[in-house]
Chain A
Amino acid sequence: ETGVTQSPTHLIKTRGQQVTLRCSSQSGHNTVSWYQQALGQGPQFIFQYYREEENGRGNFPPRFSGLQFPNYSSELNVNALELDDSALYLCASSRQGITGDEQYFGPGTRLTVT
């Protein structure tokens, strides 16, 4: 098991609501990346945080936002939830200048929007 934890495990929200997902990074890692994985699809990059600042963003609207804290844990916030936001949200912890074997994924948060 990786040292990356995510909370909550599952979440059900109503369309139009807001949600906050949390990720605790592996010890020694200063970078957190967030991914959205729709059912039957591969993960899609949302954004990355490094030293508390956004450091790259995928093709997601501004209602997807994030934070990184001094202990390198991170939050993903989604406003005005839409049905298509239903997915597994993964965070990945790493050091900057990553190689693949140094990026560890958490188990994900399953978000259902009704």
Chain B
Amino acid sequence: GESVGLHLPTLSVQEGDNSIINCAYSNSASDYFIWYKQESGKGPQFIIDIRSNMDKRQGQRVTVLLNKTVKHLSLQIAATQPGDSAVYFCAENTGGNQFYFGTGTSLTVIP
């Protein structure tokens, strides 16, 4: 079956510092990955995605890195702000209809 896991369940960073959230996946056939942010009382919100033919993709203050050799995904948030406090999930897709989510990392930004 699918297995998407995160290395750290919680992460605390000082406001203004950079944050790095990691994710391991087990299915080498996965070819599409998404990072989601979920705030309390809300559904997951799309942050950034990456396809398996890429190693890096940048958005506004966020960068996703994909290392297919070790099946590892990371999300980097630059200049972390209090509004970034949330649970972050990686999700993988093998081309079908299903997205497989990891357990999540809770990010707390300390003012």
Contact = CB atoms under 8 A, between A and B. Distances in A.
Nearest to A90: B43
A42 to B, nearest CB: 3
A2 B43 contact: yes
Given A42-B4, A101-B49, A106 B43 contact: yes
B93 to A, nearest CB: 8
Contacts of A100: 32, 34, 46, 49, 91, 99
Interface stretch (B66-74, B75-83, B100-108): B100-108
A69 B79 CA distance: 44
B46 A103 contact: yes
Nearest to B9: A40
B25 interface: no
Interface in A9-65: 33, 35, 40-45, 48, 55-56, 58-59
Nearest to A94: B97
Interface residues on A, range: 20 to 34
Contact of B98 (A4, A42, A56, A105): A56
A100 B59 CA distance: 14
A45 B99 contact: yes
26 contacts: A2-B43, A33-B97, A33-B99, A40-B103, A42-B4, A42-B89, A42-B91, A42-B101, A42-B102, A43-B44, A43-B89, A43-B101, A44-B101, A45-B97, A45-B98, A45-B100, A55-B97, A56-B98, A58-B98, A90-B44, A100-B32, A100-B34, A101-B46, A105-B44, A108-B42, A108-B43
